[in-house]
């Protein structure tokens, strides 16, 4: 590596060290996190990658190998009888497989057979680790993890948690590990009280649980109704009891339950990784239904003998791993900001990112929307940003990590000319908005974008015909306008690169099948400024046919609820253009327009507003939305207090969570279909 490049990596490592240490203290030491756990994990992962590639840059006190944070001064310090650890994390199936391969190699080196391994999977509860010590069956001490060696004595507050027994069902001397946590409903109640008292609100249940347990006044803790799950035994003396020493993790959990502890019931034993992955996928989709925060699963070797054989690294057990659920936030670097020309000539600034895994997929682009958004975020090329992606929502830049900003990073300014706009490349600010657009509307890029959109699912939905084929047809002068698509024959296509007779016939069949189009999608396909899918639907439903729309005045259109002056003026202006009307006349000869069926007044869903999120088992998103409209209901894209129902499938994202916060009814597909039958 060149000297300058190494210097840059070294600088980045030092900046990450300082930033991670700051946020580690905020999270573990002060219970007042400033960034999400996911963003923190992302910073840790970047530092780990640097340390792997450049071990000479690894600090002796690197946070990648540190457990928790030092115990605070407000509490009596406790030296743990058994050192406490923190599980390493994996974020993908590939990383999980790599972990198992390391584990198997380690066992083989120890001369142990790896043919009959079994794992126990448990929920990774988002709470605060608490270690309980019992002598002859009586609770004598409770402590936080601290830095793994020394924690804080919180016996006075832990004793107020009803799930923590004061005396066990057997007079055993034992050290138990578990998680103190807070219900979402309790967090809402506590934050309401704090709001009335003018106190800062807790950011999340984990933050609230930690703050509640680390109180000097135990009566405050008692009022907050904390819960506790026990999940591990660190040490025990069963000589004076009839207890059989557990030989597996499963037996440990069963013993904890018999002794009087609350054990999370959703654990499962697996004999291979395919079973583990099935468990992981099931809880990825079901986690939002739990009363506690769960941010992944913990996977442990079931055999206690093998656990002891595998031992620990400086920070973590080798016998277990935490497989995190797909993160909805991550940090990455803005490598460039480029302007993308849309089909109507509007310019959208797009951040080109260092590829990052988020919400289960690798993302390398994020829209910055407009100039005002760039200024609000003050995002610059070279910045480290916090990116958010939830469910089916497009990636969004949430904020800039200013502590990692390069010294030479300059504010982004919109250019005065954009080559892809055609003509002289001039751009202009759209009056009354934060958007810019091309002055010229006849560039090759815009022409291609309009054709791409014409064949897309939102418009004519010509199956299998996408941008690649449109480019091929344009570059070979086989089409120029929308109408030309409907004049193609198989013979026109057979000579094109990679087009055999079957492929050519498939394209022609797809175009033929798309000749019948609903009125609303015809309107969308024309790329008229401001006429999007929902606006097109409103106009189509109101006027009923294309002839009525072509003759409608600005006043008539603007008077339709949901349309307004800007859309009305844009649509009328488009229809008054001789070139546009000539093109539309030609197109109407080639296609069949399906006029909308009027929704019957008083339908089963009349007046109800729906939001759809996630993937439904049998219905596509568009099919489900059409059902709502056909039954007299309305569909919107965001959840608010005016929403009546949120219909959630798998991977529902933040919309389902917001529905729960606003107490909006959440339905699955079965519940949705029952509404239609009511």
Sign (positive or negative) of CA dihedral 191, 197, 200, 206 = negative
Give 417's DSSP letter: B
Q: Judge contact between 214 and 72, C-beta under 8 A.
A: yes
Burial tier of 142 (Cβ tally within 10 Å: 0-12, 13-18, 19+): buried
> H or E stretch including 133?
strand 128-135
> H or E stretch including 384?
strand 384-388
Q: Which two tokens stand for residue 210?
A: 């930690």
Task: Give me the catalytic one of 3, 124, 242, 410.
Answer: 124
Residue with tokens 């807790």: 202
Closest to 170 (Cα-Cα) out of 146, 138, 140: 138
First to last CA, the chain: 68
Q: Say how far apart CA 180 and CA 203 lie, in whole Å.
A: 17
Strand order in the sheet with 119-125: 89-90, 320-324, 294-301, 119-125, 268-270
Q: Judge contact between 130 and 259, C-beta under 8 A.
A: no
Q: Judge contact between 276 and 96, C-beta under 8 A.
A: yes
How far apart, in Å, are the Cα atoms of 603 and each of 475, 499, 599, 633?
50, 49, 8, 8
Q: Judge contact between 572 and 498, C-beta under 8 A.
A: no
Q: Say how far apart CA 86 and CA 329 lie, in whole Å.
A: 22
Q: Which residues contact 269 (CB under 8 A, 6 or more apart)?
A: 118, 119, 120, 121, 250, 302
> H or E stretch including 47?
helix 37-53
Q: Judge contact between 550 and 526, C-beta under 8 A.
A: no
Give 248's DSSP letter: B
Q: Which two tokens stand for residue 612?
A: 């759809």
DSSP labels, 493-545: HHTSTT--HHHHHHHHHHHHHTSEEEHHHHHHHTT-TT--HHHHHHHHHHH-S
How far apart, in Å, are the Cα atoms of 167 and each of 131, 134, 137, 221, 255?
15, 8, 5, 20, 15
Q: Say how far apart CA 434 and CA 430 lie, in whole Å.
A: 7
Active site residue 124: yes
Strand order in the sheet with 138-144: 138-144, 128-135, 173-181, 227-237
Q: Judge contact between 180 and 228, C-beta under 8 A.
A: yes
Q: Say how far apart CA 622 and CA 453 lie, in whole Å.
A: 17
Beta strands at 227-237 and 173-181: parallel, antiparallel or unpaired: antiparallel
Beta strands at 516-518 and 592-594: parallel, antiparallel or unpaired: parallel
Q: Which residues contact 539 (CB under 8 A, 6 or more apart)?
A: 520, 523, 531, 549, 557, 560, 563, 571
Q: Say how far apart CA 527 and CA 342 lie, in whole Å.
A: 10
Catalytic residue IDs: 124
């Amino acid at each position: 590596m060149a000297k300058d490049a190494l210097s840059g990596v070294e600088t980045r490592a030092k900046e990450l060290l300082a930033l991670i240490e700051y946020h580690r203290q905020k999270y573990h030491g002060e219970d007042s996190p400033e960034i999400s756990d996911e963003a923190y994990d992302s910073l840790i992962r970047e530092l780990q990658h640097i340390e792997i590639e450049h071990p000479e840059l690894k600090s002796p006190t690197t946070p990648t190998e540190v457990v928790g944070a030092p115990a605070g001064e407000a509490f009596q310090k406790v030296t743990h009888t058994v050192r406490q650890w923190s599980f390493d994390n994996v974020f993908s199936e590939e990383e999980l497989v790599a972990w198992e391969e390391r584990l198997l190699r380690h066992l083989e080196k120890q001369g142990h057979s790896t043919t009959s391994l079994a794992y126990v999977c448990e929920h990774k509860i988002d709470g605060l680790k608490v270690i309980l010590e019992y002598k002859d069956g009586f609770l004598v001490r409770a402590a936080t993890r601290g830095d793994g060696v020394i924690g804080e004595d919180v016996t006075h507050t832990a004793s107020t948690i009803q799930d923590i027994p004061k005396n066990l069902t057997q007079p055993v001397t034992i050290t138990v590990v578990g998680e103190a946590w807070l219900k979402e409903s309790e967090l809402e109640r506590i934050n309401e009280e704090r709001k009335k008292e003018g106190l800062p609100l807790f950011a999340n249940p984990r933050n609230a649980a930690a703050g509640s347990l680390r109180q000097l006044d135990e009566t405050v803790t008692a009022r907050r109704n904390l819960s506790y799950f026990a999940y591990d035994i660190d040490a025990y003396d069963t000589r004076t009891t009839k207890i059989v020493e557990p030989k597996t993790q499963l037996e440990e959990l069963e013993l904890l339950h018999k002794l009087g502890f609350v054990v999370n019931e959703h654990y499962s034993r697996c004999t291979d990784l395919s079973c583990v992955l099935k468990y992981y996928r099931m809880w990825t989709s079901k986690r939002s239904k739990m009363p506690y925060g769960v941010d992944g699963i913990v996977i442990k070797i079931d055999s206690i003998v093998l656990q002891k054989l595998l031992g620990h690294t400086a920070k973590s057990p080798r016998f277990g791993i935490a497989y995190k659920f797909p993160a909805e936030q991550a940090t990455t670097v803005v490598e460039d900001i480029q302007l993308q020309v849309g089909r109507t000539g509007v310019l959208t600034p797009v951040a080109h990112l260092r590829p990052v895994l988020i919400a289960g997929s690798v993302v390398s682009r994020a829209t910055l929307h407009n100039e005002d958004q760039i200024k609000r975020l003050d995002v610059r090329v070279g910045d480290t940003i916090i990116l958010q992606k939830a469910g089916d929502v497009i990636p969004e830049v949430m904020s800039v990590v200013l502590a990692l900003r390069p010294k030479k990073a300059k504010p982004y300014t919109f250019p005065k000319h954009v080559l892809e706009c055609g003509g002289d490349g001039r751009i202009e600010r759209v009056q009354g908005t934060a958007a810019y657009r091309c002055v010229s509307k006849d560039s090759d890029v815009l022409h291609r974008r309009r054709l791409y959109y014409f064949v897309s699912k939102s418009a004519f939905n010509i199956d299998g015909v996408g941008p690649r084929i449109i480019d091929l047809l344009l570059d070979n002068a086989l089409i120029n306008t929308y109408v030309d698509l409907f004049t193609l024959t198989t013979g026109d296509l057979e000579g094109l690169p990679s087009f055999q007779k079957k492929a050519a016939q498939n394209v022609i069949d797809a175009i033929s099948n798309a000749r019948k189009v609903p009125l609303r999608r015809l309107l969308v396909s024309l790329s008229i400024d401001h006429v999007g899918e929902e606006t097109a639907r409103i106009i189509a439903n109101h006027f009923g046919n294309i002839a009525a729309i072509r003759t409608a005045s600005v006043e008539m259109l603007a008077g339709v609820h949901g349309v307004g002056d800007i859309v009305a003026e844009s649509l009328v202006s488009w229809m008054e253009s001789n070139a546009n009307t000539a093109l539309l006349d030609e197109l109407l000869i080639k296609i069949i327009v399906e006029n909308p069926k009027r929704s019957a007044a008083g339908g089963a869903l009349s007046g109800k507003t729906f939001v759809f999120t996630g993937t439904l088992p049998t219905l596509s998103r568009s099919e489900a939305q059409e059902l709502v409209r056909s039954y007299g209901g309305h569909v919107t894209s965001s959840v608010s207090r005016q929403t009546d129902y949120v219909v959630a499938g798998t991977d529902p994202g933040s919309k389902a969570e917001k529905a729960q916060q606003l107490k909006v009814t959440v339905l699955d597909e079965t519940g949705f279909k029952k509404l239609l039958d009511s």
